[in-house]
Amino acid sequence: MAALQSQKLTPTEETEVQQWITTSERLKNSPSDTSILDSLNSHLTSRTTLLGTKPSKADVAIYESLAPTVKSWTQEQRTGEHGHPHIVRHLDFVQNSGIFGLNISDADKIKVDHDEILYVKPPTDAKAEKERLKKEKAAAAAAAAGGQGGVTYTLAEHTKAAAEAVKEAAVEATNKATAAVGAATEKPKKEKKEKAPKPQKAPAAPKPASPNLIEIRVGHILKAIKHPEADSLYVSTIAMGDEPGYEDTVEYEGQICRTVCSGLNGVVPLEEMQNRRVVLVANLKPVKMRGIKSSGLVLCASPRLKEGEVDDHKGPFELVDPPADAKVGERVHFEGFGGEPEGILNPKKKIWETFSAGFSTTENLEVVFDGRRVKEAGSETVGKLVTASGGVCTVKSLKDAPVR
């Protein structure tokens, strides 16, 4: 283990190690969770260690969580068609490699039979596949070239027939052209009409200024860790309804997630950031925060400063809670205001900075947009932050508090 402790990791690798340690803790409580096992097995398909080739304490943590369970796995669970062979391979590597320093006795190791493989995914023979497609193409061409009535023509006959067809088509076209010219000379010429100018397209109407240009969604924090390079930040892995392949997302435990950094370390306990639903801004431009790209903003409330007070960021802070029946990824909006979310907000337009000044809580602990605080809204309406079904986003106890 001494070698692992002295291992130098980048900030990104440190974050990944902490994420895998969190996963190992979840596996310790639910070692048969298929979604986690499938995701882990898939991750290890082309990797020797969790970081690729670099060993880390995360490998040891996964081993310690899974070894007792894997020992009792059947061969079908290990190497069957729906088994997890890459997990077995990884654990066998960890228990036998001296670099991890586990010093496990042979009696306590997972017994792995390297010769008993129940299922091997059939490889695709690229050369044979190419040859098959070539033959199919040749057969199709031959069928198209065959004559009608089952008669097969030689290449010379095809060429002669094609030449005759071209000749006949040319004669027919000449005859038609001659007839058309004759007909045109008999008819009086039509006067040319002046073409009316094409109407100019009206420029697209600008979107009305509205707090609903900001896209706000319900999210689920799957895990949160302390930022390895910043004492005030948490790094959270949050599912928020993105489609597979969306930019700046990762797959974690079978869900498409974003990485979001939040300055809540020291003001919100880390345990309150685990496995909970939150409300987030989804269309801010991603930014790097001490080496880690953050693609969202977790909304929370804090006491309103009195005149002359300085914000010392001591809180208290309360995370905004979505309605109990809201689904992950569901959009929430402010009642009484029109507009639809833009794509990624243009930082130069200051839409977030302008309208977030009106985000607040009420005496009833409901989150609202107060149009009286933002003149650009063009209305003094106070609109609740709600789902399509009318459920209202709330906070725990802070009244008349700004929400950021």
Using one digit for the tens of pLDDT, what is the confidence trace for 262-312?
A: 999 999 999 999 999 999 999 999 999 999 999 999 999 999 988 888 888
**The residue type at 54:** K
Across the range 122-145, mean pLDDT stands at 67
Q: How confident is the model at residue 314 (pLDDT cuts 50, 70, 90)?
A: confident
The CA-atom distances, in angstroms, between 207 and each of 84, 210, 340, 348, 353 are 52, 8, 8, 16, 17
Task: For the chain, give percent helix, strand, coil, nearest 5.
Answer: 35, 20, 45
Q: Which of 23-27, 130-134, 305-309, 325-329 has the lowest mean pLDDT?
A: 130-134
SS3 of residue 96 by DSSP: helix
Token reading at 250:
């990762």
CB 59 within 8 A of CB 94: yes
Whether the bond into 316 is cis, omega within 30 of 0: yes
φ, ψ (nearest 5 deg) of residue 39 = -65, -45
Amino acid identity at 192: K
Radius of gyration of the chain (CA): 34
Question: What 3-state DSSP class applies to 372?
Answer: helix
Alpha-carbon span 226 to 398, nearest angstrom: 25
pLDDT over 90 at 133, yes or no? no
Which of the pair, 32 or 123, is modelled with greater confidence? 32
Q: Which residues pair with 278 in a beta bridge?
A: 219
| Closest-CA residue to 332 (of 241, 208, 258) | 241
Q: Give the span between the Cα atoms of 103 and 258, in whole angstroms.
A: 38
- Give the whole-angstrom CA distance, residue 390 versus residue 335: 9
Give 272 or 189, the one with higher predicted confidence.
Answer: 272
Residue 400 has pLDDT above 70, yes or no: yes
The number of helices, as runs of H, and strands, as runs of E, in the chain is: 9, 14
How far apart CA 156 and CA 213 sit, in angstroms, is 70
End-to-end CA distance of the chain: 43
Report CA 274 to chain centroid distance, whole Å.
20
Spatial neighbors of 40 by CB under 8 A, at least 6 apart, are 23, 62, 84, 87
DSSP secondary structure of 216-283: EEEEEEEEEEE-TT-TT-EEEEEE--PPTT-TTEEEETTEEEEEEEES-TTTS-GGGGSSEEEEEE--
Reading the block at residue 124, the tokens are 């695709």
Read off the pTM.
0.57
Q: How many CA atoms lie within 13 A of 206 on its CB side?
A: 4
Lowest mean pLDDT among 56-70, 200-214, 318-332: 200-214
Six token digits for residue 71:
């020992």
pLDDT digit string, tens, across residues 60-81: 999 999 999 999 999 999 999 8
Q: What is the pairing mode between strands 367-370 and 318-319?
A: unpaired
| Token reading at 18 | 């902490």
Residues 6 or more apart whose Cβ sits within 8 Å of residue 275: 220, 221, 222, 223
How far apart are alpha carbons 133 and 369 in whole angstroms?
62
pLDDT value, residue 250? 92
Q: Label residue 147 by pLDDT band (50, 70, 90).
A: very low
Question: Residue 11 CA to chain centroid, in angstroms?
Answer: 22
Q: Which two tokens stand for residue 300?
A: 């929370």
Q: At what angle do helices 34-43 and 11-29 cross, to 10 degrees?
A: 140
> What does the chain come to in residues?
404
